[in-house]
Amino acid sequence: MVDIATRVYNHKWKIDPIVRSLIDTDFYKLLMCQSVFRNKPDTTVTFSLINRTTRIPLANLIDEGELREQLDHIRTLRLTRGESTWLRGNTFYGKRQMFRPDFMEWFEALQLPPYHLERVGDQYELTFEGKWPEVMLWEIPALAVLMELRSRATLAHMGRFELQVLYARAMTKLWEKVERLQRIDGLRIADFGTRRRHSFLWQDWCVQAMNEGLGNAFAGTSNCLIAKNLDLEAIGTNAHELPMVYAALAETDEALSRAPYDVLSDWHEEHSGNLRIILPDTYGTEGFLSRAPDWLTQWTGIRIDSGDPARGAEVAIRWWQSRGEDPREKLVIFSDGLDVDKMAALHAQFSGRVRVSFGWGTLLTNDFRGLVADDALAPFSLVCKAVAANGRPTVKLSDNPEKAMGPEAEIARYKRVFGVGEQERVEVVV
């Protein structure tokens, strides 16, 4: 087992690059990438880093040279033979050859496209422009690099024992969460914490701790590299970028209103079973569900990723009931801003009424809150989103106006097209 504190103290960053592999990314990115590679390979998309926690002056904390070095390092990565073998030969969600040969050939030859980095005030403007299947693979490594460089900036000033005790405290804190999770009967939980992890080594430790502590209740990790190394299930389905880009490409309001369903129609052709998970909140959950075609009611579940999660789950349950489905056979995956208390409450409220599952992210892999002075290691809300497709801006509304993004006029248009009215504001912590 790696002694993280000693490794950090020695801070041989050169031999500890932040992103070590093209599959040090979320599994759903690869699933979506394959889908995009088939359905929209020539779309030009721009991804952009957005620090929602503006009080954290990333450009003051992180040296631009070091940031470039890490990003450049990622551009040197190629899929290794072992990684390719794993993707081609492993079983994902019970299915062999999840990744088609044409996609794997393309992936084996892939180098991530160039990035554009500029300092603007106290923040970095970091954008990636290119063919959608290539450029989308920047999102997770870019976030992981920024998050970990910010951790390293704080850790660099700490002594050897301070570091040992810092990690001892973080381990104790996580293990106490694991012990509390052990007491939730019928729990089902996966690691979704790659993008905003404290560091790679720390995520790796957290996943091992969850695996040892929770046994079968631990469903796996969204991180492909860690899943491969530890022989765990790789977990994940699809994300907002699909409807956001499909919507941006829509030429008319009518096409726009259909775009979210077009996404799932393409997905429907490719995937079955537990991979058929609806992410309904991109342009408002209630409108999305009420207008959804009947074939969507057959899908396995719904992922709740914004707004009040209990409210979202109740909406989902009512929707299934209204369409003659039995919610007890359906899966609700909670994945937004979770911690143990919230999971325990949601599990108590919904267990038995639906199948409940959790995708635990930032507060699994980056809960260093309260562990150093000025809370300089507390996680914050950094995202990397598709902001344009073929030159047209993307829009996200979500079930929480705090998470909305896009040009104001476009937001207004989308609200009109999707019939989104007043929304409840929920503070975004992570």
Contact call for residues 126 and 142 (beta carbons, < 8 A): yes
- Does residue 156 belong to the site contacting a copy of itself (CB under 8 A)? no
- Does residue 175 belong to the site contacting a copy of itself (CB under 8 A)? yes
- Does residue 267 belong to the site contacting a copy of itself (CB under 8 A)? no
- Output 5 or 356, the one with its CB closest to a copy of itself: 5
Q: Please report how many Cα atoms fall inside a 13 Å half-sphere around the Cα of residue 181, on the Cβ side.
A: 29
- Output 6 or 91, the one with its CB closest to a copy of itself: 6
What tokens appear for 109 in the block? 């030859």
Tokens 């598709």 correspond to: 386
Segments in 284-365 forming alpha helices (H): 285-290, 309-322, 340-350, 362-365
Instruction: Please report how close the Cβ of residue 168 comes to a copy of itself at its closest, in angstroms.
Output: 4
Among positions 164, 229, 274, 390, the unique one binding a copy of itself when judged by CB under 8 A: 164
What tokens appear for 292 in the block? 């959804």
- Does residue 165 belong to the site contacting a copy of itself (CB under 8 A)? yes
Distance between CA 23 and CA 225 in Å, rounded?
Answer: 5
Distance, C-alpha 331 to centroid of its chain? 19
Distance between CA 45 and CA 129 in Å, rounded?
Answer: 6
Three-state SS sequence of 237-286: CCCCHHHHHHHHHCCCHHHHHHHHHHHHHHHHHHCCHHHCEECCCCCCHH
Among positions 50, 56, 153, 171, the unique one binding a copy of itself when judged by CB under 8 A: 171
- Output 116 or 160, the one with its CB closest to a copy of itself: 160
One-letter identity of residue 378: A
Contact call for residues 80 and 24 (beta carbons, < 8 A): no
Among positions 28, 92, 115, 167, the unique one binding a copy of itself when judged by CB under 8 A: 167
Give the list of residues 6+ apart from residue 322 with CB closer than 8 angstroms, or none: none
- Does residue 161 belong to the site contacting a copy of itself (CB under 8 A)? yes
Instruction: Determine the Cα angle at 173 with ends 179 and 228, to 5°.
Output: 75
- Does residue 368 belong to the site contacting a copy of itself (CB under 8 A)? no
Instruction: Please report how close the Cβ of residue 426 comes to a copy of itself at its closest, in angstroms.
Output: 33
Contact call for residues 418 and 397 (beta carbons, < 8 A): yes
Instruction: Please report how close the Cβ of residue 49 comes to a copy of itself at its closest, in angstroms.
Output: 33
Instruction: Please report how close the Cβ of residue 148 comes to a copy of itself at its closest, in angstroms.
Output: 21
- Does residue 348 belong to the site contacting a copy of itself (CB under 8 A)? no
Which H or E element spans position 386? Answer: strand 382-389
Instruction: Please report how close the Cβ of residue 169 comes to a copy of itself at its closest, in angstroms.
Output: 5
- Does residue 372 belong to the site contacting a copy of itself (CB under 8 A)? no
Span 196-255, contacts to a copy of itself by CB under 8 A: 208-209, 212-213
- Output 126 or 207, the one with its CB closest to a copy of itself: 207
- Does residue 369 belong to the site contacting a copy of itself (CB under 8 A)? no
- Output 219 or 278, the one with its CB closest to a copy of itself: 219
**Count residues contacting a copy of itself (CB under 8 A)?**
21
One-letter identity of residue 273: G
- Does residue 5 belong to the site contacting a copy of itself (CB under 8 A)? yes
Contact call for residues 283 and 264 (beta carbons, < 8 A): no
- Output 2 or 409, the one with its CB closest to a copy of itself: 2
Instruction: Please report how close the Cβ of residue 171 comes to a copy of itself at its closest, in angstroms.
Output: 4
What tokens appear for 81 in the block? 């033979």
Judged by the rule CB under 8 A, the positions of this chain that interact with a copy of itself are 1, 3, 5-6, 9, 159-162, 164-165, 167-169, 171-172, 175, 208-209, 212-213
